[in-house]
Chain A
C-alpha cells in the first residue's frame, strides 16, 4: 500500500515532472536535496496562497491517485479493484459497474461489507478504506468477438474534508492476472546494472588506492 501522508493535487504530478530528468541531473538534484535536508519535490514549490492547489503539505490528491481502479478477467467473472490512498474513502453505495462492450451482460457487483460511517450532516453510509475488490459475474453473447469493456462509477472523499464528484471510467480488464497494467510501459532503465558496475568500479578504485606505492611480486 502506497502511503500518501501528504496531500497534493498537482503536487504529486509536479514531483513526477521534477523527477523526469536525465539520470545524472536526477541523481545530482537528489544528492543536493539530501545535503540540504529537503525533499526533491520542494524544488517545484508553487504559490502558497492557493492552499490546496500544489501548495503545501496538506494538499489533496487528484482523484485518480486517491482512488486507483483496475480490473481483470477471471473467465466467468471480473474482479474490479480499487486501491484507496490513506486518508481517503469510497462510498459503497456509489459503486456501479456496467457493461460497455456489445453483447456483454454484467451482474450487479458483489461487494464486501464496508465500514459504517455516520456523519451528522449526511447520515449513515458504508465506506471502504485502503482497498476493495468487487466480483462482477458476466456472460458474453458474442463468443469473444469484442474485447470486454466495462464502465465503472465510484465516488469518494478525503477524511480531511473534500469530496470528489462521481468518477466514471471505461475499463478494459486484463486477462487472468492481477499484475499492474502500466508496468510494461516503463522504459527499461538499467539502474541495477549501473549500481553493480558502480560497485565493481568502486572496488577496483579501492584496490588501486591500496595498491599505490607497493610493488607487485610477480613470478619471474
Chain B
C-alpha cells in the first residue's frame, strides 16, 4: 500500500491536470469565438451616413480610437459662434481645457455648468476653457444662449470631426476633453463626463507642469494614477 500511495497521487494529479487542460483549452476556444462574434456580430458591412448631418457618423468596423494622441496641440482653426474663423493659436501660451461636445448628448449638457465655473475661476489667468461643438450652428447658438455659455465655443461638422481625429479620436464619442499645458503639450485626454474632482486634479498637475515642478511623463503618470484612485473611490 505504501508503494502504491505516491503513484496513486501522481496518477490522480496527471488525470486532474489533463481534465483541467481540457477545460481551459475549451474556455480559450469559447473566448475566441465570443470575441469573433463581437467583432463580426453585425450582419452587414458598415453603412454610409448622411453627409449633411454632422451628428450622423458612419462607424467603421474598427471603431476604437486607434490613432495616437499627439504630444503637442495640433494646429487647427474652426468658426466661432459668430461664424468667424478662429485659430487655436489665439490661445497660445495658455493652458487649455478643450471640451468636445454636442447638443444631443446628455452628459455633454451636464458638463456645461462645471465648465462654466472652471472658466470663471480661471478668468484672467493662464488657463482657458474652450468648447468645440460637433453639431449644427443654429442648434449650438440656441443652446449656448439657453445655457448662458460664457466661454468661447467653436463649431464644426466634418471639420470639427477632423480636429477630433487629430487628437486621436477617429470615431469620437462625446464628451471628451483635452487638457494642455502652457507650452501646448497635450497632458491628458479624458473620455466621458467630467466631474469636479477629476478636473481639479488634472488642473493641479497641469499647474505643476507649468511651474516646472514636474515633467510631462511624470504628470501623465500621476494623472493616470490619480484618476484611477478617484474612480475606485467613487466605485466607477
Contacts and interface: CB of A to CB of B under 8 A. Distances in A.
Interface in B5-53: 7-8, 10-12, 14-15, 17-19, 21-26, 28-29, 31-50, 53
A116 interface: no
A192 B26 contact: yes
Contact of A171 (B23, B26, B28, B44): B44
Interface string B205-232: 0000000000000001101110110010
A54 B67 CA distance: 12
A157 B37 contact: no
Given A47-B220, A171-B42, A213-B3, A206 B63 contact: no
A219 interface: no
Contact of A182 (B28, B37, B59, B65): B37
Interface stretch (B73-81, B82-90, B115-123, B170-178): B170-178
B70 to A, nearest CB: 11
B188 A51 contact: yes
A10 B64 contact: yes
Interface residues of B, number: 86
Interface centre among B21, B43, B47 (most CB of A within 10 A): B43
A210 B11 contact: yes
Interface of B: 3-4, 7-8, 10-12, 14-15, 17-19, 21-26, 28-29, 31-50, 53, 55-59, 61-66, 69, 102, 104-110, 112, 134, 168, 171-176, 187-193, 220-221, 223-225, 227-228, 231, 236
Given A83-B41, A165-B55, A171-B44, 17 more contacts: A9-B173, A12-B35, A53-B64, A53-B65, A53-B69, A64-B63, A100-B47, A122-B109, A153-B56, A160-B193, A160-B236, A163-B104, A163-B107, A169-B42, A183-B33, A195-B22, A199-B18
